[in-house]
Amino acid sequence: MTANGIDRYGVMGYPVAHSRSPVIHRLFALQTGQNIQYDLLQVAPDKLEKALQQFRRTGGKGLNITVPHKGEVARLVDRMSERASCAGAVNTIVFSDDEVFGENTDGIGLIRDLTTNLGLNLPNAKILILGAGGATRGIVAPLLEAKPESLFIANRTLSRASALVSRFSSFGKVTACSFEDAQSLPAFDLVINATSAGLKGENPPYPESAVAGHTICYDLSYGLTPTPFSRWGAEQGAARSVMGWGMLVEQAAESFYIWRGVRPDTAIVLKQLAINA
């Protein structure tokens, strides 16, 4: 809490200047009548533990955690939810008098965007996830819980995709394949890009055969202009090719609810941000 009685929150990452979280949470606060302060906190990896302790010591109530700290924070909290434990990553922290609690709202944010905002019917859908890194780890269990017909994880290194299959097979049927193998698979209903390929100037390993006229292409990344994957999906003739703005707002709303006990209307905020999700 600040000297003037306002509860303090923030987003901690490295880098973090690009984050839209302060804008989103201020809109949530205005909408719900909550008196909060929400700051950008750029913290280098070697300063992370000390920064968390300092934020808590000075009265901070909660934090969002973004790249590259989500995995490390999972090792620093006193207790975490089943969702966070399953993902091996924390993106939301609650500070109380007796503990530091970690949660992961990424998966529920994605599911709400796909189903509520985009109107997708996930049960019996054929889903392909591109990439087997931390972003994928946070969304596999929630997707499997939606009971799709099939879920494939494709990765450049097959062993990384196979490791995720072993980790999440108890949640439902999930299959690993290489990017090359994905080229021979029939079209999917939903293709999710969880890689940074294209953003870093690499050759994107997107499988053209995965997209047909009914396919939704969804990029976990987002930007003020279309991402390489978003452009690629549109070029392949996908029914829709969208970026992860809706997921960003939905996961933030879940964090806000955990902290404040009130759930903001995300549709209003998406409109206020002038984002075509």
How do residues 153-203 score in pLDDT, each as one tens digit? 999 999 999 999 999 999 999 999 999 999 999 999 999 999 876 666 566
Residue 261 backbone class (left: φ over 0; alpha: ψ -120 to 50; beta: rest):
left
- The span from the CA of 254 to the CA of 256, in Å, is 5
Lowest mean pLDDT among 3-7, 53-57, 98-102, 159-163: 3-7
**Is residue 65 within 8 Å of residue 91, measured between CB atoms?**
yes
How do residues 230-244 score in pLDDT, each as one tens digit? 999 999 999 999 999
Angle subtended at Cα 244 by Cα 237 and Cα 144, rounded to the nearest 5 degrees: 85
- The span from the CA of 209 to the CA of 257, in Å, is 40
In this prediction, residue 155 carries a pLDDT of 95
CATH architecture of residue range(s) 7-104? 3-Layer(aba) Sandwich (3.40)
59 φ, ψ (degrees, to nearest 5): 95, 10
- The span from the CA of 144 to the CA of 236, in Å, is 26
How do residues 80-130 score in pLDDT, each as one tens digit? 999 999 999 999 999 999 999 999 999 999 999 999 999 999 999 999 999
Lowest mean pLDDT among 22-26, 44-48, 150-154, 193-197: 193-197
Is the pLDDT assigned to residue 30 strictly greater than 90?
Answer: yes
Render the burial of 156-166: b for 16+ CB within 10 Å, e for the rest. Answer: bebeebbbbbe
- Domain 107-245: what homologous superfamily? NAD(P)-binding Rossmann-like Domain (3.40.50.720)
Is the pLDDT assigned to residue 151 strictly greater than 90?
Answer: yes
Evaluate the CA torsion angle 79, 84, 89, 90 in order and state its sign: negative
Question: Considering the chain, what is the average pLDDT of its residues?
Answer: 93
Q: Closest by alpha carbon to 11, among 71, 88, 67, 72?
A: 67
Is the pLDDT assigned to residue 253 strictly greater than 90?
Answer: yes
Residues that are catalytic: 70
In this prediction, residue 276 carries a pLDDT of 40
Is the pLDDT assigned to residue 272 strictly greater than 90?
Answer: no
Percent of the chain scored above 70 by pLDDT? 94
* Domain limits, the chain: 7-104, 107-245
Instruction: Specify the 3-state DSSP secondary structure of 227.
Output: coil
In this prediction, residue 224 carries a pLDDT of 84
Instruction: Specify the 3-state DSSP secondary structure of 129.
Output: strand
- The span from the CA of 229 to the CA of 49, in Å, is 35
- The span from the CA of 65 to the CA of 11, in Å, is 6
Q: Closest by alpha carbon to 40, among 19, 57, 59?
A: 19
Percent of the chain scored above 90 by pLDDT? 86
- The span from the CA of 56 to the CA of 261, in Å, is 20
How do residues 217-231 score in pLDDT, each as one tens digit? 999 988 888 989 999
